[in-house]
Amino acid sequence: MKLKKQISRALIIAVAAFVILLIPVSLLAQSGWYKLTIPTSSDLHAVCFKDANSGCVIGDNAIFKTIDGGLSWTQVQNFPFGEFDDFTFESLCYTNASTGWIAGDLYVNPPGQHHKVILKTTDAGNSWRYSYNALSESGLMSVCYKNPYVGFSVGGEVILRSGDLGVTWERCLYNSSENDDFTFTSVCFINSMTGYVAGKVYSDPPGILSQVVFKTVNAGTNWTEILRSPGTGLNSINFCSSNSGWVVGAGIIRSTTNGGITWILNATFGGLNSIYYLENVYFPDPLNGWVSGGLTNTITNEYLNLILKTSDGGQTWTQQTFSTGKSSDYKLNSVYFINSLTGWAVGDGGVIMKTTDGGTTYVEPNNESVPESYALYQNYPNPFNPETKIKFEIPSSEVGESPGRWWMRNADGVGLVTLKVFDVTGREVVTLVNEKLQPGFYEVTFDGSNLPSGVYFCQLKAGSFKDTKKLVLQK
């Protein structure tokens, strides 16, 4: 009897090991941002998920859906695609598990004409049909529905509204002078009555380009301009509550905490050697938010992907790294999170990135091995060109208590941890980490592509702990 039990146990272990070997690597837990595989090289412009498993991505002549969180993708063929049609799908949203909307541009050649188009699905994205199709000089850039009945879409000089499930669409009126030429790029509603649109306006005379935001409190009947500031325009607007909102544009992030009455310039990016393209902003809650885009090095002409994160409502932003390594030649056009940990980003060339830990990169995510003290290690390699790895350790706040019990009682982390890089003058160059972290072993990548050769200093601060290491960038 004992022999049979031993054989049975060995057989179970062997079968379990075999099953584990069959599990794709992408199913195993990964940290930070990592790439998903999708069968397309078309540029992707938007991503939206209904839950942790069901989602959709759209782009140039492309609609893909997934039911397993992005491990596999199915191309949707059932939409009105003609022989001479060239679609650019720009924006995507769902109102429930079955009903969704896509806004974009349709170029038909011949005869060489653009159309503003909105597609609708009522079968969870398996098929899409026209909800709106109108001849125009340009397409639509954004669509937003807070319920299946009332929706809005913007693009060019138009704000569209539908109050009958998308059967008909009408133009909304907004204040505009004869000298103003508006381009609306993004629309966001917090409920069926209150919403915002963002974009740019060119006023001639005097020939000034400005960032602009409009607001409605009566479901689009009236729109009031609440922001106009000189700049190259805004690409995305997002509100997660009636008061908290953010807009992004070329190298800038603005926020409001009073429903758009006043706007604060949170951060500016870029300088002598770099240009930042901030394409999309998304906040699942008032504290945690992400911005996706791209970064150009004007010296090397290198083009890199970009994801910025905040965990304090936008007061400070951290540039996140990618566990699959640095990727170039594309930008990330859209980012979407279903909570503060799980999110996706899509971009040019059919790139899809995913994270299940908010984008933080762990070295050893091992709950059974918790450091006993804070530590900042010397970067490696050093000197470096242009990237280097920086490792650090975060201990339990109650040394001696079992790791399992500690983690259960301290789910929000040990407190704010910052990891910053400074130049020899003491000027802050970049914030690598600025968030609450669980105890554990961490590693981040510092990319000095846009910095000149020289000596820099990396400083880790957590509570009363502070340590600094010398970094040498040698190009």
322 C-beta neighbours (distance < 10 Å), count:
20
**Looking at the chain, which residues constitute the CATH 2.130.10.10 domain(s)?**
29-359
Q: What is the pTM of this model?
A: 0.77
pLDDT for residue 7: 40
The percent of residues above 70 in pLDDT, for the chain, comes to: 86
pLDDT for residue 129: 96
pLDDT for residue 411: 37
pLDDT score of 25 more than 50: no
Choosing among 1.10.620.20, 2.40.50.100, 3.40.1440.10, 2.60.40.1930, the CATH entry for 364-473 is 2.60.40.1930
pLDDT for residue 21: 39
pLDDT for residue 274: 83
Average pLDDT over residues 217-236: 95
Average pLDDT over residues 294-302: 81
Average predicted confidence (pLDDT) for the chain: 85
**Looking at the chain, which residues constitute the CATH 2.60.40.1930 domain(s)?**
364-473
pLDDT score of 435 more than 80: no
Q: Are 196 and 263 in contact (CB under 8 A)?
A: no
Residue with the bigger pLDDT between 330 and 144: it is 144
Block residue for tokens 């949203």: 93
Counting other chains too, the contacts that 210-218 makes at CB distance below 8 Å and 24 or more residues apart are 211/247, 211/249, 211/252, 211/254, 212/182, 213/237, 213/247, 213/260, 213/263, 214/159, 214/174, 215/259, 215/260, 216/172, 217/193, 218/193
Q: Are 367 and 404 in contact (CB under 8 A)?
A: yes
pLDDT score of 193 more than 70: yes
pLDDT score of 19 more than 50: no
The percent of residues above 90 in pLDDT, for the chain, comes to: 63
Residue with the bigger pLDDT between 161 and 310: it is 161
Average pLDDT over residues 138-147: 95
Annotation: CATH topology of 29-359:
Methylamine Dehydrogenase; Chain H (2.130.10)
Residue 460 phi, psi dihedral angles, 5° rounding: -105, 130
Residue with the bigger pLDDT between 89 and 369: it is 89
Least confident of 384-388, 422-426, 431-435: 431-435
pLDDT score of 15 more than 50: no
Average pLDDT over residues 33-60: 95
pLDDT for residue 227: 97
